[in-house]
Structure 1
Amino acid sequence: MPLLESCFKPPFQFKNGFIATVYSGLIRKVNGLKQQRERIETRDQDFLDLDWSYAERKSDAVIILLHGLEGHAQRPYVTGAAKLFNQNSIDAVCVNFRGCSGEDNRYYHSYHSGATDDLDDVVQHCILNKGYSKIYIKGISLGGNITLKYLGEDREIPKEIKSAISISVPVHLTGSANELHKAKNKAFAIRFKQHLVDKLKVKIRQFPDNISITEINSIKTLRDFDEVYTSKAHGFADASDYYQKASSVQFLHNIKVPTLIINALNDSFLSHECYPIKEAKNNAYVYLEMPKYGGHVGFIQKGGFYYNEKRALEFATQFRD
């Protein structure tokens, strides 16, 4: 699919990627969204907490919203999209990945950038138990990588899935990991790493035979965390093996559902490999938009809703049938 020209123009002060990223992650508020929590069982007898919000009238359409690394279903980049879709007659289910809903999951393993079975469980729940005939998926950052990998894997995609949108996506995990470890992203990397380590310290109480406090104390960087925990807990040889196998870029050629990727050119989390120009040109179902501005999930516009949220609604509703 030819690359899409972006018309995104943020207010002047938010042309700076760092400012846009920080404001969107730490300062933005979304008010007025009412969510109802539902717990479902996964195929391996773990659980997922889903936070639902609804259109004013009964809808046969739903958007599944997936957060990023160490996010949750109340983050503004999730609730903003839910509120906008609700206002446009589409229900929304905000997924909390394992261990991200305020309660630790049941197993030593949890979630990672390439774990797609939980998304499939949510999709099946929406179809079989909720009766939706139209499903849209929107993933942010890590959630975007999961979305793209899910759609491109060797599985039968339900006909109810009409379209998907992925925002600020590290489709090449090795490249993104390298960027996150650079000085420009030091503050973000430290924050992510500390959240992850704190949760791992909770897990050691339940699974003392799986990891030692010495191993946890050896974690100094995000890559260390993936070496010590993510890779070992989820069946990868090491962090490099995890990054290679979980990256969605290698699955893009197989996507057969209309899919929009929006990656800002000034996103400091993304390497040049995270702009899949060749893959988009070679797949009629993959649309790639690369705004000059936006940082990491910082597509700020006046009026309350973000550019990526409006584009997601616009793109999704092209494919209602």
Structure 2
Amino acid sequence: MSNFSLRNIGWKPFFQQQVSLEELETGVVARVSAHHGSQILMLGEAGEFSIPAQLAQAADESAGGTAAGEAGACGIAVGDWLLLDAQDHRAIRRLERDTLLFRKAAGEEVKPQVIAANLDTIFIVTSCNEDFNLSRIERYLALTLQAGATPVVVLTKADLCENPAELRHQAEQLHAGLLVETLDARESEQADVLKSWCGPGQSVVLLGSSGVGKSTLANALGTGQLATGGIREKDGKGRHTTTARSLHLLPSGGVLIDNPGVRELQLPACEEGLTDLFEDVLVIARNCRFSNCSHEGDAGCAVMAALEAGELDQRRFASFQKLNAEQAHNSRSLAERRERDRKTGRMYKSMIDKKRRRREES
């Protein structure tokens, strides 16, 4: 790969101000483009190279984190910027993240899983067939708003739907000012409507279920020939093809992160994202007679009144209740896990100090 500027891969003043002139004299900055087990693939001004994942993780643990919702979300992610030693590419530190997309990790244990970092726009991709689900889109929207990135809903496979315009209208009602595009990703010219978010220095990610056409869309935007699958006749779903996150340069000047389909999507601590997403419900709830109204038959409940009058959609309110209960549970569990980790860390430190004192006394 020939040399290119850092701006082409998303370098901005936010990151520039974190690195001193002295550090740039002895170090280099590069962006994580893929994670391959024991090695992490990087992109810098000199092109592609790899560094040991173990050393990069050490740099991550010493980094600060103030991106939206970042507390507790550790681990080097695709999209991260690292400061490296210029001689041996040893990772010195991870730069503070501008934005961070993460979810609750799959499984019973409640812990955050980083999806991608330093994103400008998140394309929430779903198809105009049996996969279309407003409540699922709301989950993706909550994560996107929590991350601090701009959401754009992309409805693919428009050729498989009799009235894609109606689905687009339904999606637009989920959040004030939400941008929704409808297209057939196999037609590259239709994907041109997304290129205004993929210009020089811009970073975008594809987020959605398996088989909705994310790889096809990525190819249409210019990533190259990513593997794609056909439609299963039994349920109208596409076949899962992407297996790992990777950062790709786009001919429009930006970068795109192709993300594996999400099979299980539970919300982590996501209060800010949900507050933004369901502002319309919260505005109604403020008119309830009691501040601790459960919205389940309490006297003077403005939410129940709005539901009965048809001013609030029953599906949307059910989604509001479900997602808030889920994130509240996971938020409590995350806080408890962090407290356990802190106590364990203090215990280990105490044990090490005792051993050191015994050695000094002997």
The structure richer in strand per residue is: 2
The structure richer in helix per residue is: 1
Say yes or no: TM over 0.5. Answer: no
Give me the TM-score of the superposition, normalised by structure 2: 0.27
Greater radius of gyration (CA)? 2
